Structure 1
């Protein structure tokens, strides 16, 4: 085959549009009717809203614009760390804005997510990084309270998901020493909660250290109840630069799709620069009733714009 023929053949199989790195920090992936929807913090454009990308294979992603736009729901700045879930016949997005938590609603996972009343969940301190978990008809909101450090709490939400049920708020995790605070910071950080239930046990995935720290990493705690108490597993951290090869590996979400478990998370842009943070994916398996990531499956996600 001569060079010209080879180049023509190559051009016929390459995508028409160039792909670029998927740059979602604090990412989450929601799956509905065979399609995957990725959301996250939009880096330099985090004051505009929450973007969404779609895929049918977890490999090729398409930029679909904003799922939630500033002005259509609570918040003027800092749209961070969303989670999307289905409840009844609607789709909901729990997200951070103005360092508060709000929940918007849509008829479709692509959005638009809106609020009739632009309001946040009540709280006595700054609240970020929401994750809603349903158990026996009750909705538990795992989140971070920015008070004497970034500490992870949970509390039961009322039926319309607008406030906490009195008396249900409970602290789950606060950062300790060792890998959870490698710089010995006076403001320890535990954040980015995700909770799953498997075989009757509850697993809380969380991230520690400031996200700008190269040692930002993911640990797991387990419990017999959605309220805890949560016990750290001895294998922590389960995801870090030491098994991903990338600085700042953390703050993501668990995905189960077509019989496989995954963790989607962000890493630093490169070894010298933190942002914009890149979105990556790793497979997990269950070993002796505990999740274990598979470093050989680590891959950086890429996207095209329609």
Structure 2
């Protein structure tokens, strides 16, 4: 199952980065989501660095491990850049590098969390790599993957979140649908350098609705109006059943309550299978980056952006 990413800019980071991102259109000027990368660029993660946006995506048939593109604003134009992760860790084999997440560190460096095939377990697992610049090249670190629960299907779709007190966390999904078990979105505290864990994992949310197709994935966590808002994707990633939902909680570890209706699906956006989302905080409003299916055979998923609006802690893209 392809991952989604995701990935969140942090509550604290949003304040620091807000002035660097162009403003979102007003509600009166709302427009349909814009296709900004019209070639295969699935599971986009977007970070802001020195006023520039950097996007990272799942590998594609074009080659390389981590697709990368840059732009001055969410609406682009986006320029393709070199493979951000030319070499994988020794534990991984090439060809299945999914849903990268890049997070800026307090010392000015960047950590990438990438999903790849673990040669020992033959499951998808999450590893780490570091770089002094957002464009890389990133260098793998560690003798093995950071997280790899092989008996639970492995782990995919890493994303980061930093709480108001500065504590960093990693969210990820066990790839349970690969082995016929529940798919949980987990939260686990990171060490200050982002390269190892400082606490046990906590279950946040799992699949429990028919329309989810037996899985949820691609977590993105933000904090708005005192609540924690967890975006996720569900359904089959390769067709119109894929959608983006969200759940809210008054505390970081939950309990999270899913919304009654999806944030985005094929019917309410006109985009086939919108998912793999990431939130880009802006000066006067947030943006949402996500992918949509441009072709099912061969599978091509392009990158879209749209303003993300809030009514308290309730998001919308209308």
TM-score, normalized by length of structure 1? 0.80
CA contact 1:43–1:277 (8 Å) conserved in 2: no
What pairs up with 1:173-252 in 2 under 5 angstroms? 173-181=205-213, 188-234=214-260, 236-252=261-277
Unaligned runs of 5+ in 2: 1-35, 118-123
Unaligned runs of 5+ in 1: 1-18, 182-187, 295-306
Q: Which has the larger radius of gyration?
A: 1
Counterpart check, 1:34 vs 2:51: yes
What pairs up with 1:227-306 in 2 under 5 angstroms? 227-234=253-260, 236-270=261-295, 272-273=296-297, 275-294=299-318
| Deviation >6 Å, runs of 4+ | none
Match of 2:42 among 5, 8, 25: 25
Shift, 1:20, TM fit: 6.9
Report the secondary structure of 2:54's partner residue.
strand
Shift, 1:70, TM fit: 2.5
CA contact 1:122–1:163 (8 Å) conserved in 2: no
> Which residue pairs with 1:129 in the alignment?
157
Counterpart check, 1:109 vs 2:134: yes
Shift, 1:225, TM fit: 2.0
Report the secondary structure of 1:257's partner residue.
coil
Count residues in correspondence.
Answer: 266
Counterpart check, 1:82 vs 2:111: no
> Which residue pairs with 2:170 in the alignment?
141
Write 1 or 2 for the structure with the bigger share of strand. 1
> Which residue pairs with 2:12 in the alignment?
none
Alpha-carbon displacement from aligned partner over 1:72-112 (angstroms, at most 9, x marks no partner): 67632311101111111211111111111112111111111
C-alpha root-mean-square deviation of aligned residues, in Å?
2.1
Report the secondary structure of 1:242's partner residue.
helix
Report the secondary structure of 1:229's partner residue.
coil
Structure 2 CA distance, aligned partners of 1:28 and 1:73?
A: 24
TM-score, normalized by length of structure 2? 0.78
Question: Cα 1:68–1:146, aligned 2, differ >3 Å: closer, same or farther?
Answer: same
Shift, 1:157, TM fit: 2.1
Choose between structure 1 and 2 for higher RCO, CA contacts under 8 A separated by at least 6 residues: 2
CA contact 2:111–2:194 (8 Å) conserved in 1: no
Alpha-carbon displacement from aligned partner over 1:119-165 (angstroms, at most 9, x marks no partner): 31143330100011112232211101123143211111234434433
CA contact 1:268–1:274 (8 Å) conserved in 2: no
